[in-house]
Amino acid sequence: MRDIQFDTIRDTVAKLCIDANCLLGDDVVRALKDGLVTEESPTGKDILNQLLENEQIARREMMPICQDTGWAVVWLKVGSGVRVQGGELYDAIQQGVAKGYTDGFLRKSIVEDPLRRKNTGNNTPAIIYTDIVPEDLLEITVQPKGGGSENMSEVKMLSAADGTEGIKKFVVDRVARSKANPCPPVIVGVGIGGTFEKCAMLAKHSLLRKVGSIHPDPFYAAMEKELLERVNKLGIGPQGLGGRVTALAVFIEAFPCHIATMPCAVNINCHAARHQSAIL
């Protein structure tokens, strides 16, 4: 067994919350710069330049990239040979989120009840997803997810007869209906298969991929490329003001499903595709 201290986990999560909200990944920055070459609209180019300037200010000043510092979605890979000393793992995660959002002066956006709407005051509870792995490590990924883009997400229970074209139509239509709401240029996560809830998790998890990465399965790699082209032909453009750069990437994750079903989920991310990871 390998022991990891409760306080180490808590403090690591706190730092990840702050870093994820202030430091945009190099892959996304490159994609925005590439967008300047692709974009033909003068307004679109101006917006992309503003997004890049905002990224530099956030990095330099360690200030949030966006005022919506989001849900703290936490993905864990927990080694079967790992033991937490001094407390429980999930408690360390929750305390780390509270510490990070408080110490980092990040906006607290979570209400403790969806109807009565009282703010929890520290951005907890985090949403935690856990995989058990055979190693003796603990990998933590913090993915702040803003409310505007989350509101543009959707699950649809397609039938097997709808096929690949049915999925493509659903994905493109979902982006088209979103218009400016998710603050484009967006990253589109697509989950296919599993069950009603599993495909939504797949879609959100796909957003952790590096922009510019290619799906290992050539079938889905081709599908991602086609969907990105179709989305960028919608003309929504940066911040919805028209142009060719509506999306920076489309990512797909697929999973086995029941013979009678073909669930599909679209989880949209704004250009601020924020996530940071650490391995303990």
Q: Whole-prediction pTM value?
A: 0.96
CA Rg value for the chain: 19
Token output for 249: 């990437």
CA dihedral (202, 4, 91, 63) positive or negative = negative
Residue 254 — very low, low, confident or very high, per pLDDT cuts 50/70/90?
very high
* Residue-wise pLDDT tens digits, 17-40: 999 999 999 999 999 999 999 999
Q: Is the pLDDT of residue 162 over 90?
A: yes
* Residue-wise pLDDT tens digits, 97-108: 999 999 999 999
124 near 44, Cβ under 8 Å?
no
* Residue-wise pLDDT tens digits, 35-53: 999 999 999 999 999 999 9
Token output for 70: 């989001």
The mean pLDDT of 123-131, rounded to a whole number, is 98
Task: State residue 225's pLDDT score.
Answer: 98
Residue 1 — very low, low, confident or very high, per pLDDT cuts 50/70/90?
confident
* Residue-wise pLDDT tens digits, 73-84: 999 999 999 999
